Homo-oligomer: A and B are copies of this chain.
Amino acid sequence: MAEEAAVRAQAEVVRRLKHDKADPDEIAKEVAKLLEMKAQLGGDEGKHKFVLKTPKGTRDYSPKQMAIRERVFNAIISCFKRHGAEVIDTPVFELKETLTGKYGEDSKLIYDLKDQGGELLSLRYDLTVPFARYLAMNKITNIKRYHIAKVYRRDNPAMTRGRYREFYQCDFDIAGQFDPMIPDAECLKIVHEILTDLQLGDFLIKVNDRRILDGMFAVCGVPDSKFRTICSSVDKLDKVPWEEVRSEMVGEKGLSPEAADHIGEYVQLHGGLELIERLLQDPKLSQNKLAKEGLGDMKLLFEYLTLFGITGEISFDLSLARGLDYYTGVIFEAVLLQQENDHVEEPVSVGSVAGGGRYDGLVGMFDPKGRKVPCVGVSIGIERIFSILEQRVEASEEKIRTTETQVLVASAQKKLLEERLKLIAELWDAGIKAEVLYKKNPKLLNQLQYCEDTGIPLVAIVGEQELKDGVVKLRVVATREEVNVRRESLVEEIRIRTSRP
């Protein structure tokens, strides 16, 4: 594209300008030349000078979408605060080497910044690695924090399913050396509270443990070197049937058919405390040190979850195997269940909305002396939740307000702009949310229509008679009721009429 050539030429000029000590007039001339070049190119291609879009895999949020987003964030932040979390923030990019070696095969999805002279930088891929870097850098060994921010992945997004290249993560993590499984249980309680609070329908939180998985692979005869790759095959079981996963293991990954079949028996198991007890008696698993440790902790976890009263929505599931390299203990993932109906026998999962686990080694990777800080955390998959709620709002024809304006300051006659401005300044200064149309002489009908359109509940009308009488006419948009209010009582009257019960 010719346009791109101009962009590149400009980049070239900028680079030269940066390195030479150019004088300002030179710069001005160069820039003028480029702008001209650009204008000409625009001319060649007709009037459409720009590709008017957001980058692939990203989107703008409209005011209506933002209103939904705010609701969801409020529910999540309330929950995090209810559990005593502090909040931190980190930069959107990190030194490239901070991210290197943390994400296994997914490293290819990291966005790098251009080398413009200086450090090599990459956009963050998640909030967990920056958190670990933050802990190591500040020698923090003990913190409970949340962090809500955007992360970046050069994925091939299926945007209809709520997947993007830029998306929010809402993370809650507990770092520190504590007695086993108490923080882990709290993370699951948090997921349960948030999904209940958001009323997304039935959900299930699947739980497993990396040590149980690794122990299982060992007793099934998977060679050590294949643990990770076989684990990533198991990870696909929520999307493809066992037969396909088995043939990937045996065909592509060279696992023996016997080992695969053995795995196949284990990964279909799911249940609660009884299953854990049974596996603790399993002749093979009980002989494996890792598996035994994992099962012991899983039992403790389920005891705590029973005290929290949430085991009804939690399933110990041996097929759960989250992809990330850094997990070391318990792992979990929450899925929404399709609404049951007459045609479906068992509820079907429609996608993951939260996930997390324990990662006891990650902070040590950053510490100069390798000191470990045990961590467990959860990440809420907010984009999927937005999509669901957005669709629901669309379907319900619920009218979502995008502002919180309590009152429109209006006038019934001409030449009252000054009076409207004086009144609205009084209201603003008293903390009332108020608007005024930016017209010298708006028609009353248009002002009322504006309230209808945007959901403003009250109109404060100034007219010549009202000014003489020292009153303001307050109109309730919904009922068309009108009442004269003394000017000095107006603020109080608006407050009473717009306070939520």
Write the residues of chain A forming the contact surface with B, with a CB cutoff of 8 angstroms.
3-4, 7, 10-11, 14, 17-18, 23-25, 27-28, 31, 34-35, 38, 47-56, 58-63, 66, 69-70, 81-98, 100-101, 104-105, 107-108, 111-116, 118-121, 123, 133-134, 136-138, 143, 145, 150, 152, 154, 166, 174, 176, 178-179, 182-183, 185, 189, 193, 228-229, 232, 252-254, 304, 307-309, 365-366, 368-370, 402-405, 417-418, 421-422, 425, 428-429, 431-436, 438-440
Q: A28: which of B70, B228, B433 is its contact (CB, 8 Å)?
A: B228
- Which 3 A-B residue pairs are closest in the complex by CB-CB distance? A63-B86, A178-B438, A58-B91
**Which chain B residues lie closer than 8 Å to A133 at the CB level?**
52
A10 CB to nearest B CB, Å: 7
Are B179 and A95 in contact (CB-based, < 8 A)? Answer: no
In the complex, residue of chain B having the shortest beta-carbon distance to the beta carbon of A118? B56
Q: Which residue of B lies closest to A427 (CB)?
A: B82
CA–CA, A369 and B42, complex, Å? 12
* Residue with the highest number of chain B CB atoms closer than 10 Å, among A86, A118, A152: A86
- Indicate whether A438 sits within 8 Å of B183 (C-beta atoms), given known contacts A52-B133, A97-B7, A154-B116: yes
User: Which of B3, B4, B100 lies in contact with A38, CB distance below 8 A?
Assistant: B100
Shortest Cβ distance from residue A363 to the other chain B in the assembled complex, whole angstroms: 11
- Give Cα A154–Cα B15 distance, bound, in whole angstroms: 13
CB <8 Å contact, A120 and B60: no
Minimum Cβ distance to chain B for residue A6 (Å): 8
Q: A136 and B307: CB pair below 8 A? A: no
Contact yes or no, B402 A55, CB < 8 A: no
Closest residue on chain B to residue A94 by CB atoms: B55
Report how far A61 CA is from B134 CA in the complex, Å. Answer: 10
Q: Which chain B residue has the least Cβ–Cβ distance from A184? A: B438
Question: Are B104 and A50 closer than 8 Å at their CB atoms?
Answer: no
Q: Point out the residues of chain B lying under 8 angstroms from A89, CB to CB.
A: 60-61, 66, 69
Can you list 30 contacts pairing A with B, beta carbon distance less than 8 Å?
A3-B97, A17-B108, A18-B108, A50-B366, A52-B366, A52-B368, A55-B91, A58-B93, A60-B88, A60-B90, A60-B137, A61-B89, A62-B138, A63-B143, A83-B428, A83-B434, A83-B435, A84-B403, A84-B433, A85-B403, A86-B402, A86-B403, A92-B166, A113-B114, A113-B123, A174-B438, A178-B439, A182-B438, A183-B438, A309-B425
Contact A96 B7 (CB under 8 A): yes
Residues of B within 8 A of A52 (CB): 133, 136-137, 366, 368
A63 touches B82 (CB 8 A): no
Q: Are A91 and B60 in contact (CB under 8 A)?
A: yes
A268 to B116, CA, bound (A): 40
Query: Could you say which of B25, B70, B185 contacts A253, with CB atoms under 8 Å apart?
Result: B25
Docked-complex contact B425 and A308, CB < 8 angstroms: yes
A417 to B304, CA, bound (A): 10
Q: Is the CB of A86 within 8 A of B66?
A: yes
> Which chain B residue shows the least CB distance to A435?
B84
Chain B contacts for A81, CB-based, 8 A: 403-404, 433
B368 pairs with A48, CB closer than 8 A? yes
| Chain B neighbourhood of A84, CB < 8 A | 403-405, 433-435
Taking CB as reference atom, which chain B residue is nearest A432?
B82
Complex CA–CA separation, A113 to B10 (angstroms) = 16
Contact present for B91 and A59 (CB under 8 Å):
yes
Q: Are B229 and A421 in contact (CB under 8 A)?
A: no
Taking a contact as CB atoms closer than 8 A, the residue among B87, B94, B254, B417 that contacts A25 in the complex is B254
Cβ contacts under 8 Å, A138 to chain B? 60, 62
CB distance from A315 to the nearest CB of B (A): 20
Knowing A14-B108, A431-B82, A438-B176, say if A25 contacts B403 (CB, 8 Å): no
- A399 to B: closest C-beta gap in Å: 14
- A304 to chain B: which residues have CB within 8 Å? 421
Q: Which residues of B contact A402 (CB under 8 A)?
A: 86-87
